[in-house]
Structure 1
Amino acid sequence: MTSKMKMGSAAIALAFALSGCTAPSQKSVADMQSCKADNQMQQTTLFFGLSRPAGKDITAQEWQQFVDNDVTPRFKDGLTVFDARGQWLGNNGTVAREQSKALMLIHGKDAQSESNIEALRGVYKSRFAQESVMRVDQPVCVQF
């Protein structure tokens, strides 16, 4: 595949990925307006790459230690982890493909949650030499 074809494919993939970043539909706005105040929460999904720029991939044990020692103390009410496979355009202009983890958190829209989420992103980037940890936020109506 030529360089131009690769860049075109990457641009199409990025456009497709970002297509979910549009304004909420009228239905979702209406759904949130009909959601009881006690059920309105925030969903944050963080995407963590498992490849290091140099050296071995992040192991299952290292990931679990991060969840146990860094995530769980900040989000004791619960969380969900998904295995994923992703790709993204690195700062060096190369498309990176790697195994990943997606961490979904349901939380209140408050300063403490915001601080905890940003702390997780910072800890992970620092500990595992990552360029970024992608964050996606959306309002949700939750019932238990």
Structure 2
Amino acid sequence: MNLKTGVAAAALALALTGCTTASQKNNSVAMQGCKAENVMQQTTLYFGLSRPAGNDITAQEWQQFVDRDVTPRFRDGLTVFDARGQWLGNDGKVAREQSKALMLIHGTDAQSEASIEALRGIYKSRFAQESVMRVDRPVCVQF
């Protein structure tokens, strides 16, 4: 690595650190006014609907996954969104596909964590997927 590349890498790392700190600060400020009993976790999982080889995952297959695997683990409720995703595959090619986004609002307990990871594993195995993206953030929830 030459000096110019090293300086650029250091500047990028510093800039990204600032973004992370600002994001954490914003979450902290937003959560300050939240009552402890209203603090929960929002997890959104992104499921691709294309198989590497073969037909796309059908609406019936998706609904069976939700009914048999998701709902028993998250009986209190969930939200599903239709999405269109793009990502870089392990083969270095950009993949574009229809997707489903599953939003879960849950506690920060070990059972929720285990259930979410189980869903990711089941889906990847059953539908030959490389990954299921997961995004987590704290939220203030009122019903």
Post-superposition Cα deviations, 1:94-126, rounded to whole Å, max 9, x if no partner, equal 000000000000000010000000000000000
Deviation at 1:31?
Answer: 1.9
Report how many residues are paired.
124
* Residue in 1 that maps onto 2:110: 111
TM-score normalised according to structure 1 size: 0.83
Post-superposition Cα deviations, 1:29-49, rounded to whole Å, max 9, x if no partner, equal 122022000000000000000
Counterpart of 2:77 in 1: which secondary structure?
A: coil
Deviation at 1:54?
Answer: 0.3
Greater Rg, structure 1 or structure 2?
2
**One-letter amino acid matched to 1:57:** D
Counterpart of 1:132 in 2: which secondary structure?
A: coil
Deviation at 1:28?
Answer: 3.1
* Residue in 2 that maps onto 1:81: 80
Output the CA distance in 2 between the equivalents of 1:138 and 1:82. Answer: 18
Deviation at 1:26?
Answer: 3.6
Output the CA distance in 1 between the equivalents of 2:56 and 2:36. Answer: 43
Output the CA distance in 1 between the equivalents of 2:58 and 2:25. Answer: 43
Output the CA distance in 2 between the equivalents of 1:45 and 1:27. Answer: 19
* Residue in 2 that maps onto 1:30: 29
Counterpart of 1:22 in 2: which secondary structure?
A: helix
C-alpha RMSD of matched pairs (Å): 1.2
* Residue in 2 that maps onto 1:128: 127
5+ residue gaps, structure 1, are 1-20
- Which consecutive aligned stretches of 4+ in structure 1 deviate over 4 angstroms post-superposition? none
Percent identical pairs in the alignment equals 81
